[in-house]
Amino acid sequence: MLDLPSDLPADIVPLSWLLGVWEGTGVIDYEVPGPDGDDDAHRYRGEFAHRVSFSHDGGPFLNYAATATFTPEDGEPVALVAESGYWRLTRPADAHDPGPALLPPREVRTAQRTVDDVEALRLPEGGFAIEASIVHSDGMLELYLGRIDGPRIDIATDAIVRAEGAKEYGAASRMYGLVDGHLLWAWDIAALGAGLRSHASARLAKV
């Protein structure tokens, strides 16, 4: 059974261990084929500094933002793609929810949702279904679906939208976990002609 902190909406209690600002370092290692096959492959490899923020403003979701800076052994640091978005438990929208667009709810909610309402969303195998909508600064949009079970999240892309000039990017999956007070994550991608494989991971501490 969930415990409800007094200052959190019930729907984000399962996500509450993510709240805060996290900083640390990670590694990138991803090889893509060249135009003439494996003999012309290019390998992206190196370390990066990473900053991730999860916050809430009273709604049934978390606000998400992330930035990263590549730190090559030689040369100046390079800012990488930034992200922003929203994370929430998956549940059917009802007449008490606003939207789509700026449409107000059809019915006024007379009582706040409770932990019992959230517990009703628990999956038979444990944990909760989760969704994350993430926008990249390079014209990419991702919708992830997956599961949160205690201090672990596993999500995979259900849809990706690319701007006309964006680079090729076909699929992704991410794993987040809370280990010894640190936020650990790993990100697999299928991009630039390569199949789905690990491309980055990091270990972050709360600041």
pLDDT at 34: 84
- How crowded is residue 103: how many other Cβ atoms within 10 Å of its Cβ? 9
pLDDT digits 0-9 by tens, 111-143: 889 989 999 999 999 999 999 999 999 999 999
3-state secondary structure 123-173: CCCCCEEEEEEEEECCCEEEEEEEEECCCEEEEEEEEEEECCCCCCEEEEE
Question: Cα separation of 140 and 157, whole Å?
Answer: 12
Question: At residue 172, does pLDDT exceed 90?
Answer: yes
pLDDT digits 0-9 by tens, 25-48: 999 999 999 876 666 789 999 999
**Structure token digits, residue 151:** 């201090």
Q: Are 175 and 161 in contact (CB under 8 A)?
A: no
pLDDT band at 72 (very low <50, low <70, confident <90, very high): confident
pLDDT at 1: 42
pLDDT at 109: 87
